[in-house]
Amino acid sequence: MIIVRSPLRITLGGGGTDLPSYYRNHGGALISAAIDKYVYVSVIRPFTPGIFLKYSRLEQVARVDEVQHPIMRETLRMMAPDPWQVEITTLADIPSGTGLGSSGAFTAALVKALGAHQKKTLETGDIARLACEIEIDRLASPVGKQDQYISAYGGITCFQFQRNDDVEVTPLKLSRETLFDLEDNLALFFTGFDRSASAILQDQDSRTRRDEAAVIENLHFVKELGLRSLRALEAGRCAELGEIFHEHWEVKKRRSGAMSNPKIDAWYALARANGAIGGKLVGAGGGGFLMFYAENRRKLGRAMAEAGLEELRFRFDFDGTRILLQ
């Protein structure tokens, strides 16, 4: 049996500039952080021929073309031709559709697990690149490259997306004090809404492809916010990150009306009145997790709990996609 885990992520700045429709014309840059919440994939060779898949559904088919799960089908198709004799099971700490990059994490874990199953050595960059090829090129999903890359690499990392599709990967140079500050003062709260990012990302992607000036300028500004986040963190100015979050919140809402809703706006205002310097929805928007940088974490936690929001405590992950058992 092979068991692989991939970390989920939070975005600390520049989100949205990793879509090909933007970075292939303007170059993208963002700061992402892997957290200790994971997607797990196990792979074994069963005694009987065929493909056995266990996720939220069960599939048992003879050939790859019969697989219903799109990511599993395309990954199997990419990694080797039929016939397959394999059983794949997937589990996750956090459900999909909550804005923490579960799809990209799952794809990275599946690539790593199937590669190990076939005794192929895949470098970290290979895992990220192949996961992006599956989701973006083969499945034409309106997603960017952040989730696959941060899940593969882990850590707190700056990704710069070049116009020729190359990705420059630079771990942030953070002091131990800054790491502790971030883990102590960043807070995630589940809004209770799980949503698909596809519709929001499809809208941004379409408008970017049409070269709508307002969207392009918005993303230019978001990219600069990401670079400002990098400078603030490497200088140890963690509270400044909260201020940048608030700027990003206002800018992101202007990019699409689907980014927020009145209930989320009310929770955001409540957080700002109870110790949060600033915050943002993690992911494309519309639901999932609200993340805040708080000067008074305890006061913020009490206020959000009274409003019915559950906090997700986390630490950073520096391992990336890794094999736990082989």
Of residues 235 and 252, more confidently modeled: 235
Host H or E run for residue 43: strand 28-44
Smallest Cα–Cα separation from 225: which of 262, 264, 280? 280
Mean pLDDT of 79-106: 92
**Is the separation of the CB atoms in 31 and 172 below 8 Å?**
yes
Smallest Cα–Cα separation from 186: which of 314, 307, 309, 303? 314
The three-point CA angle 52-67-90 to 5° equals 50
Q: Read off the pLDDT band of 158 (50, 70, 90).
A: very high
**Is the separation of the CB atoms in 261 and 50 below 8 Å?**
no
Say whether pLDDT at 266 is over 80: yes
Q: What pLDDT shows up at residue 78?
A: 95
Smallest Cα–Cα separation from 320: which of 76, 44, 16, 111? 111
* Buried residues in 108-147 as b, exposed as e (16+ CB within 10 A): bbbbbbbbbbeeeebebeebbbbbbbbbbebeebbbbbbb
**Is the separation of the CB atoms in 9 and 147 below 8 Å?**
yes
Q: What pLDDT shows up at residue 161?
A: 98
CB neighbour list of residue 272: distance below 8 Å, 6 or more residues apart: 246, 278, 279
How far apart are alpha carbons 306 and 36 in whole angstroms?
26
Say whether pLDDT at 98 is over 90: no
Q: What pLDDT shows up at residue 258?
A: 58
**Is the separation of the CB atoms in 79 and 142 below 8 Å?**
no
Say whether pLDDT at 325 is over 90: yes
Tens digits of residue pLDDT in 170-219:
999 999 999 999 999 999 999 886 655 555 545 555 655 565 778 889 89
Say whether pLDDT at 278 is over 80: yes
Q: What pLDDT shows up at residue 96?
A: 85
Computed over every residue of the chain, the mean pLDDT equals 91
Say whether pLDDT at 271 is over 80: yes
Superfamily of domain 176-312: GHMP kinase, C-terminal domain (3.30.70.890)
Mean pLDDT of 144-170: 97
Strand ranges across the sheet with 310-312: 276-281, 289-294, 186-190, 310-312
Say whether pLDDT at 229 is over 80: yes
CB neighbour list of residue 175: distance below 8 Å, 6 or more residues apart: 236
**Percentage of the chain lying above the pLDDT 70 cut:** 90
According to CATH, where is 3.30.230.10 located in the chain? 2-173+317-325
According to CATH, where is 3.30.70.890 located in the chain? 176-312
**Is the separation of the CB atoms in 90 and 57 below 8 Å?**
no
Q: Report the top-level CATH class of 2-173+317-325.
A: alpha beta
How far apart are alpha carbons 17 and 13 in whole angstroms?
10
Q: Kindly give the pairing relationship between strand 85-92 and strand 50-54.
A: parallel
How far apart are alpha carbons 123 and 152 in whole angstroms?
9
